Each structure stands twice: as structure tokens, then as C-alpha cells.
Amino acid sequence: MSAPSYSVTAVNCTDHGSGLAARRQDFPIFERRVRGQPLVYLDNAATTQKPRAVIETIARYYRECNSNIHRGVHTLSQEATERFEEARVKVQRFIHAAHSHEIIFVRGTTEAINLVAQSYGRPQLKPKDEILITAMEHHSNIVPWQLLCEQTGAVLKAVPMNDAGELLLDEYVRLLGSRTRMLALTHVSNALGTINPIGEMIDHAHAHGVPVLVDGAQAVAHMPVDVQALDCDFYAFSSH
């Protein structure tokens, strides 16, 4: 068996004319060289490298006001609490949420989905109820629902997709039934890059009285997100 051949295109990371070099300067890690070459990092679907502004802001917190939030009346605690709540308002504006109290800080998308599954989903479910996901979900939007089904006797179903990596909406409408208690789907696939028509899918779900959780981990960094326009019930994402 012969080994497969691949076509490789070289990218000049020091090309000042492209503007890429200037953008790389915002990220200290790209000062590194690997095997004598400028570092190229492509695993952004897992986590992204941090720009200098983020690193400096985190360091400034530890230098200036490191303390517990909402726990003390001393100056450092009050300053940390103020910055914490300012961050909540910034996230609210970033995703166009109606109120800052709708923003719940968690450790990541995985924890957010588990939190919804266990605190909201579990009390709603009975044996033979159904949870609907899609065939293109990240494990973080599969396993929490699998565990929930094991715990409650509910049934997990998945909307299939075609060879082009697009969801089969006719099948989605067919699967959305009287026993569906939750729809959990990705906004943008981490593996395929597919942008799902979640507005239309949310409308269908709500017409059946079904709440919707959207995994927005891959969407928020690449496209505008307006959770009020989408009318989703939960929008989970992380900042890394």
C-alpha cells in the first residue's frame, strides 16, 4: 500500500505586506520558533493563544486587586467585584443579551452544558421523554445528554446530516415530536465548520414548546451573535 500524498502550501508568517506579521506581534507566544521556524498554531478549535492585552489584564488583576469577589468590604474586594460585574456587562453587550443577570460565568462550554442538563433538564424528564441533538455535535454536547438519559430513562435522538455536512431539516421536523423535551445543537460545527440555520430550528422547537440550548463555542469568535434575535433559551460558550 502506498502512502497518501499531500499538497502543502507554504505561508510566509513574516510577510509584512499581508498584515499577518503585525497581527502576530499582538501574541507573545509567536515570538517562539519551533525547529528553527516561526511558530504556526492551527488548533484554535480547541483553544486559542492569548493576545498581549489579555495577558497584561490578567497580570494587572493579580498585581492590583487580587481578592474574593462579593465577599468583603475592603478596598481590594470591592475593586475586584466591580471589575467582575463590569465584565458581565461586557459579555451581555457582546452577545446582545437583554440583561446582565442573564450572564452566568462558568469554567467553559462543557461545564455550561452540564449545568443546564443537570439543573434544568433533569427535573423535567421522565422515562421515554426525548432529547434531540444533531449528528455533528462536539462530545461536550453529547455526553451530558447521554448521562441524563441514563439517569432518567429518557431517549436521545440525533438529527442526521447529508454528505455535504448539512443537517437534514426535514428529518429534524420529523424527529421533533410531542415527547421532545430539549433541543441541544451546535451553532457552528467544530469539525466541519458548518453554520447551522439555528434561527429556523429554534422557531420550530418553540412552536412545539421545546426549550433550546445552543453550543456557541465555535460561533462567538467568528461571527456576530444576538441571542435575543435567535430567541434561544441557553447559549453556551467559553472565552478561550
Question: Coil, helix or strand for 132?
Answer: strand
Average pLDDT for the chain: 93
Q: Are strands 155-159 and 33-34 parallel, antiparallel or unpaired?
A: unpaired
Q: What is the pLDDT of residue 4?
A: 45
Dihedral-angle region of residue 193 (phi above 0 means left; psi in -120 to 50 means alpha; beta otherwise): left
Q: What is the pLDDT of residue 228?
A: 98
Q: Cell numbers of 6, please? A: 499531500
Domain with CATH 3.40.640.10 in the chain: 109-236
Residue 190, amino acid:
N
Region 181-198 average pLDDT: 97
CA–CA separation, 141 and 234 (whole Å):
13
Per residue in 84-112, pLDDT (tens digit) is 999 999 999 999 999 999 999 999 999 99
Q: What angle do CA 11, 12, 16 make, to 5 degrees?
A: 135
Q: What is the pLDDT of residue 15?
A: 58
Per residue in 139-153, pLDDT (tens digit) is 999 999 999 999 999
Q: What is the pLDDT of residue 20?
A: 82
Q: Cell numbers of 140, please? A: 461536550
Q: What is the pLDDT of residue 117?
A: 98
pLDDT surpassing 50 at residue 167: yes
User: Which range has the worst mean pLDDT, 11-20, 64-73, 96-105?
Assistant: 11-20
Q: Cell numbers of 163, please? A: 454528505
CA–CA separation, 132 and 156 (whole Å):
6
Residues written for the chain: 240
pLDDT surpassing 60 at residue 2: no
Q: What is the pLDDT of residue 240?
A: 84
Fold of 109-236: Aspartate Aminotransferase; domain 2 (3.40.640)
Whether 188 contacts 157, CB under 8 Å: no
Whether 223 contacts 188, CB under 8 Å: yes
**At 80, phi and psi to the nearest 5?**
-65, -40
